[in-house]
A = this chain, B = another copy of it.
Amino acid sequence: MKLGIFVSHFRFNTSSYERIKSDKLGVIFVQNGIFHATVKENNRSSPLLEKSADFFVLSEDLETHGFRRSDVDGKVRVINYSDLVNLIFNEYEKLAWL
């Protein structure tokens, strides 16, 4: 399947996240999920970025929190709401808000 996963929390039980497989997988960091794209806890990137997936972070939520594009991990692409609509309709068939 082609699955887009929304991560909106910084701290959550990641067992669903870790186990779900998808031929094509996108992970979109929104709300407090953006910390996974920006914060290096104890100098390490978020373990969520180890999954084999395309990663995106919502610029509006990045900026709400006070982060800039330059704070974003190299694995993650910055998108806005308009890009998100395109991702939803063109890239992923099913969506999961964890």
Contacts and interface: CB of A to CB of B under 8 A. Distances in A.
Contacts of A11: 11-13
Interface residues of A, number: 4
A71 to B, nearest CB: 21
- Where chain A touches its partner, the secondary structure class is loop
Contacts of A13: 10-11
Interface in A11-68: 11-13
Nearest to A12: B11
Q: Lowest 4 A-B CB distances belong to which pairs?
A: A11-B13, A11-B12, A11-B11, A10-B13
4 contacts: A10-B13, A11-B11, A11-B12, A11-B13
